[in-house]
A and B are shown apart, each in its own frame.
Chain A
Amino acid sequence: MSNQDALIEIRDVCKLFTDDGDEKQAVDHISLTIRRHEFVTLLGPSGCGKTTTLRMIAGFETPTSGAIYIDGKDVSAVPPYKRKVNTVFQRYALFPHLNVADNIAFGLTVKKLPKDVIAQKVDAMLRMVGLQGYNKRKVTSLSGGEQQRVAIARALVNEPEVLLLDEPLGALDLKKRKEMQIELKNMQQKLGITFVYVTHDQEEALTMSDTVVVMRGGTIQQVGTPQDIYNEPRNRFVADFIGESNIIDGIMPEDERVVIGDVSLDCVDKGFAPNEPVDVVIRPEDIYIVTQSDKGQFKGTVESVVFKGVHYEMQVRDTAGFLWLIQDTSMFAEGMEVGLIVRPEDIHIMRKSDDPNAAVYREEEAL
């Protein structure tokens, strides 16, 4: 293999499901390389193909076309019980007739390891996930968070090369989820195991991952570090899905200049055709509000104010009728006339043609 570091290679994989005669393209020609020790998150709305992709890496689904390589070997036809990957399932899938220790020991028992070795490894795992002394407990008597920990221990005890996690924190409350996010990240760094994590929660993806893969409609929209994805979304969909964004139509008359309605702004993007129509993306926290409306690049009226804890979230309608979403630590009262200012480096310009699904969004928005 050309890339020494590559552990999983997904090459031009498609997955077609046939259900009652209806064909559904769950995954549509995706290619992706996952490196050793990387924490990769597949992120997207439901039905985007992220879980199907994960299940193909686990071996529960076979690609309709294309191939998946693990450690340089084509595993497309290898059944799950012969792959060096383990999975943490969405609803844990613990074995209800076995106690905590026997659940964790399951994979080791299958491998017929000596009893004392198994007991040792199980205890070490229980310590790692913070459940010392839970050996004989029934799994059905555990809380959701505890079951989650058992599920993680049951997978990790096998020392897999890759751990696959399918929305593992989805059933936990917000506080538990935040705790587990940090713990999972720590475990991954300590053990040096490659994690492939599936979630629809963009905040979770940004918090934990080395690399985020944004998916939509069975295709990959963007691959990058959390910072890349957040700061330089490649298209309108990514910008909209990752965090909140103001997305507005604009025109690039020349390099480093964009026109929104009748307002002309400096920006840092270049390389567009003269007068090319573009999507302009501006994050709500990157807009400054001034009380003298004449000093702003845009003029508008505050339409609503919501207190969000750290900041206030305000909607401001400008004179051209566009509704801006703005986050600011100071409050501006409803009905106030204000001005809006955006710095050139906070303006992100996206080519409309960069977006394979552009037509789809416009249709969705029209509905």
Chain B
Amino acid sequence: MRRNHKALHLISRLYMVAVLVFLYAPILVMMVLSFNEGKSRGNFTGFSLKWYGELFQNAEIMQALSNTLIIAVISSLVATVVGTFAAYGISQMNRRSQGLVMNISYLPVINPDIVTGVSLMLLFIFMRMNLGFATMLISHIVFNIPYVILSVMPRIKQMDRHLLEAAMDLGLPPLRAFLKVVLPDIMPGVISGMIMAFTLSIDDFVISFFTTSGVQNLSIYIYSSARRGIEPTVYAIMTLMFVTVVSLLLLINRKSLGRTVAKRTRI
């Protein structure tokens, strides 16, 4: 019995390791190659930061990076403001409309990116808008809003639904009451929604690709440079992107983990 148990334990361990290897080996290889001295993909000829150096010399990459960051910052901020108010509004609806509106808001999340991307492109063209920085920004705001709503909603549901009324009762008009009383209470949901929106914006390729022309973000740059043959500088950017996204994710998880721990200790 006991030996059986041990063997089972070992197998489950190995299984987990195998899964992790499959998941992370490719990224690890890319990260290692980004520090490779030579251009070869086959053998590691020596440690060097030269690709990172080149990366920061490359004006095209730097332009794409700054586009990515500006769009990520603006779109996540705007989506957070819009999404937070939207979530509060939805929470005040009656049950049936609430379900309906939540499903509609949820649709862009499950809709394939390519459908969202192409349809946004068609809409912009239909409205005679020139595809470029502005259209890409608008698209990012649009696809980020539902994620913010989904992240804020559970916090609102946990909240005492009379909080806003209590603040109004004590003399604050509705908007100030919301900012002073409701917002601090749902803040953790708002912050994690904003971080999620930020990472999704940095991540996105498909929707960006269809809703801009001429203006590049990092993912579009990588895609087009890949057709010319991938330079190790690309490994360097991707390593940086990976590290950024992972650290943001860890931040979200630590926030929500901290919350559950706090809850448990309270009980």
Contacts and interface: CB of A to CB of B under 8 A. Distances in A.
Contacts of B160: 89, 91-94, 96
B108 to A, nearest CB: 26
A79 interface: yes
A203 to B, nearest CB: 26
B51 to A, nearest CB: 47
Given A19-B94, A20-B94, A20-B96, A93 B171 contact: no
Interface string B152-180: 00000000101101111111110001000
Interface stretch (A8-16, A80-88, A116-124, A226-234): A80-88
B184 interface: yes
A53 B233 CA distance: 70
A80 B168 contact: yes
Interface string B93-135: 0101100000000000000000000000000000000000000
Contacts of A89: 160, 162, 165-166
A220 to B, nearest CB: 25
A255 B254 CA distance: 81
A90 B166 CA distance: 11
Contacts of B167: 95, 106
B239 to A, nearest CB: 40
Contact of B170 (A19, A91, A92, A158): A158
A190 interface: no
Nearest to A17: B94
Contacts of B181: 95
Contact of A90 (B97, B162, B172): B162
A80 B165 CA distance: 8
Contacts of B170: 81, 86, 106-107, 110, 154, 158
Nearest to B97: A20
A58 interface: yes
Interface in A97-126: 97, 106-107, 110-111
Interface string B188-201: 00000000000000
Nearest to B182: A95
Nearest to A92: B160
A86 B168 contact: no
Among B166, B168, B172, max chain A CB count under 10 A is at: B166
Among A60, A80, A96, A97, max chain B CB count under 10 A is at: A80
A87 B172 CA distance: 14
A87 B171 contact: no
B173 A81 contact: yes
A183 to B, nearest CB: 21
Contacts of A92: 160
A87 B169 contact: yes
A60 B162 CA distance: 10
A89 B169 CA distance: 10
Contacts of A111: 171
Contacts of B185: 95-97
Nearest to A157: B170
B165 A60 contact: yes
Interface string A1-27: 000000000000000000110000000
Nearest to A151: B166
Given A20-B94, A96-B185, A91 B171 contact: no
A107 B171 contact: yes
Contacts of A58: 165, 169
Contact of B166 (A19, A79, A95, A158): A95
Given A19-B94, A95-B181, A97-B185, A80 B162 contact: no
Nearest to B187: A97
6 contacts: A80-B168, A81-B168, A81-B171, A93-B160, A95-B163, A96-B160
Interface of B: 94, 96-97, 160, 162-163, 165-173, 177, 181, 184-185, 266
Given A85-B169, A91-B162, 4 more contacts: A81-B171, A91-B160, A95-B184, A107-B171
